[in-house]
Structure 1
Amino acid sequence: MTTGENTGTRTTTPTPRSRLRAPRATRTNALHPGAWWIWALGLGTAASRTTNPLLLALLVGVAGYVVAARRTEAPWARSYGAFVKLALAVLGIRLAFAVLLGSPIPGTHTLVTLPELPLPDWAQGIRVGGRVTAEGLVFALYDGLKLATLLICVGAANALANPARLLKSLPGALYEAGVAVVVALTFAPNLIADVQRLRAARRLRGRPDHGLRGLLQVGLPVLEGALERSVALAAAMDARGYGRSAEVPPGVRRTTAALTLGGLVGVCAGTYGLLTAEGGTYGLPVLLAGLAAALGGLWLGGRRSLRTRYRPDTWGVRAWLVAASGAAVAALLVLYASTGPYAYAALHPGVVPLTAPTLPLWPAAAILLGLLPAFVAPAPSDSATIAKEPS
């Protein structure tokens, strides 16, 4: 820090430590929303490869820490808590089904025997009640925990990625489909915000906001607000010329359709080849050729779109780091699962006989790479202006 001799002003020189910190989020350096979705899908892919409760809990902790560190005050950012509650509900329902309807996993450790409901002959193979074993409950717990982790990863993407900015980044050929997806993704956050606002208003007026009565009295204003938003959205889309497209030659339309359809078929065939032992030689080339054809079809299809982009989001170094961290987590767990029977047993603890799950070090270290966005992504501003600016 130096002080001027004549003016008395101070000039602050940034220290090397301050240069390494993630900057505050502004309109110009906001992270690309696609990077958040790639990161979250990478964590979800890793969760789909294991039923180890220790690894799944680590994935949930990584997603929760990043959301707590980089979440803004925007309406869609408040949906993370709802996804966590939904994940807990799914886990509870899965355990309840295992208790009431039984489990396909045979077990010898009987916890309780419920009264069994006799069923007709055409319902053979289904039972209601009966023995509840520890092996069946543990199997249901592992299965439900995997699905709950997937929901939490999707909730993290919803809480961190701006859906309007994500729509702006889609290719022109996918604009109409992207509008429908964004409207669907923003429905739940807006609904939750309306419920919270109405419950707060009822508490201020001294009226009950819990129980069935409170839910019924809040439901009608929420539906009314959803209808008003739908009408306003339709009017805004009509005023902006939504659905208008440019004229393209018939040959370009046919080429676009052929490239897109052929590319999707190639992607499916290549993916099938990679997943089977017989198609290991042709799987990767067919997959790459299909991706190239599909991208070419999307590029040609974008010529029909007449819309322009105002200040498009840039994919910078920090976006690459965030996306690469999620992709690395998924790739490392997939590679670890293919190394041999020992790795498979570590990722899928046995339930018959019951064995205590262990924490494999290499998959745990790979999952910790998902914490990188908490340190490299721009930190949310105190006023959350970046989240509330119109796009």
Structure 2
Amino acid sequence: MRRRLATLANARLPRDLHPVAWWLWALGLATAASFTTNPYLLLLLIGVACLAVAARRSAQPWADSFRIYLWLGVAIVAIRVLFRILLGGGDGGRVLLHLPSIPLPHWTLGLRLLGPVTQESLLAGLYDGLRLAAIVICVGSANALANPKRLLRSVPPALYEIGSALVVAVTVLPQLADSVRRVRAAQLLRGGETGRVRGLRRLMVPVLEDSLERSLALAAGMDTRGYGRTAGATARERRTTGGLMLLGLGAVCAGVYGGLDQTTPAWLGRPMLVLGVLVSAVAIRQAGRRVVRTRYRPDRWRWPELVVAASGVAVGAAGWWISQHQLQVAYPSLTVAPTLSALALLAIAAAVVGALCSPRPLGGSA
């Protein structure tokens, strides 16, 4: 009993949480955001992501990239509302601003520039932009909390080459944030032009060059260490693995098509999708046997990882259920104030509790 209690207590010691747990948590929040246009629920999801990053981010360079995702979310909302105004503010509803209408040629399928701006059209643009911004910010929280290099070690062996490319792509934005900090500090020491236009030009060129060089250095380092190196395989094994992969991919495509098209037979939907996933899993496992690699101190899943991942899955499932059974909460009308249900508040609480159950990172800011 004492040993078990000591194990549970040691799991809460300062350490880096498993990166897959953070990604499952963030993808659960992003899934819930994709199933709703309720601004209150979307703002709560964004707030949870910001709270998790503020409480559990580390001192590593990728933790500073979250502010870039926040500004990107603000830009998405502003551009979405601006396009609503430029491409016609709507015909029906409460008019807030009268702008001259500029007709376009007939081949634009009824589009026009400007026109009267209605309250409903602005709210529709705001809700849609806020949903996309929430998805981007939730994914950005995973990028700021999870260690991308440790994430590469958790990729299945068969997907190691794809995982290496994804890790390089994911680390570009964190490396960009770190490069901005270092280049700005170097320029302050050197002095020189400080104007907005000229200062931005002096900043962007070395920042882009430095971030690209560091990402390429990461790729070269992984290649030197033999990431994704495969062992020999017979022609029969390669044909079997390739055939299973193609069969699974075809079954997944057929299952997705059957689920989107209601006129197709019932067996072409979920059963075919499940069959495709199972066949693809067998093919990935078969292909993974050809990848030769070793692991030094592999990451272990403990109870904080399970709680964080389970909370993300629960939030995503709750968002899907609300979109199917509580339409007024998931997709509020543009003429009345949005509302929240008890299930939505419980989902937000589960996301907060799951994030705070994670241990503090080593050398973190919290």
Question: Could you tell me the TM-score, scaled by structure 1's length?
Answer: 0.84
Letter of the structure 2 residue corresponding to residue 199 of structure 1: R
Which residue is equivalent to 2:237?
252
Alignment of 1:55-134 (within 5 A): 55-103=41-89, 106-134=91-119
2:17 is aligned with 1:31 = yes
> Structure 2: which 5+ runs fail to align?
none
Instruction: Give per-residue Cα distances to partners, 1:259-311, cap 9 Å, x unaligned.
Output: 22222333343445555666666644433322221111111111221222211
| Cα pair distance change 1:212/1:238, threshold 3 Å | same
Summarize the alignment of residues 173-322 of structure 1 with structure 2, pairs less than 5 Å apart.
173-209=158-194, 211-230=196-215, 232-233=217-218, 235-242=220-227, 244-274=229-259, 283-322=269-308
Distance 2:341 2:195 in 1: 44
Pair 1:163 & 2:148 matched: yes
Amino acid corresponding to residue 291 of structure 1 in structure 2: V
- 2:29 corresponds, among 18, 43, 57, to 43
Tell me if structure 1 keeps the 8 A contact 2:255–2:270.
yes
Secondary structure of the residue that 1:304 maps to in structure 2? coil
Cross-structure match for 2:327? 344
Q: Distance in 1 between matches of 2:327 and 2:350?
A: 21
Q: Assess if the C-alpha contact under 8 Å between 1:22 and 1:375 holds in 2.
A: no
CA shift digits 1:223-248 (9 cap, x unpaired): 33235325534542443245642111
Residue in 1 that maps onto 2:342: 361
Once the two structures are superposed, what CA deviation does each residue of 1:121-172 show, in whole Å capped at 9, x if it has no partner? 4335121111111111011111111001001101011011111111111111
Aligned pair partner of 1:329 in 315, 331, 334: 315
Q: Separation in 2 of the partners of 1:241 and 1:273?
A: 41
Give the conservation status (yes or no) of the 8 Å contact 1:203–1:209.
Answer: no
TM-score by length of 2: 0.90
In 2: Cα distance, 1:331 partner to 1:226 partner: 37
1:117 counterpart SS class: strand
Residue pair 1:87, 1:148 contacting (<8 A) in 2 also: yes
Q: Which is further off, 119-128 or 213-222?
A: 119-128
Comparing 82-91 with 210-219, greater Cα deviation is found at 210-219
Equivalent position SS for 1:357: coil
1:380 partnered with 2:366? no
Cα distance in 1, alignment partners of residues 217 and 151 from structure 2: 21
Q: What do residues 164-221 of structure 1 show as CA deviations (whole Å, max 9, x unaligned)?
A: 1111111111111111110000001101111122112323444455611111011222
Distance 1:363 1:20, change over 3 A: farther
Q: Which of the two has higher C-alpha Rg?
A: 1
Q: May I ask how many residue pairs the two structures share in their alignment?
A: 361
Match of 1:172 in 2: 157
The CA RMSD measured in Å over matched residues stands at 2.6
Question: Which is worse superposed, 230-239 or 165-174?
Answer: 230-239
Secondary structure in 1 matching 2:116 = strand
Q: Per the alignment, do residues 20 and 364 of structure 1 end up closer, same or farther by CA in structure 2, a change over 3 Å counting?
A: farther
Structure 1: runs of 5+ lacking an equivalent: 1-12, 386-391
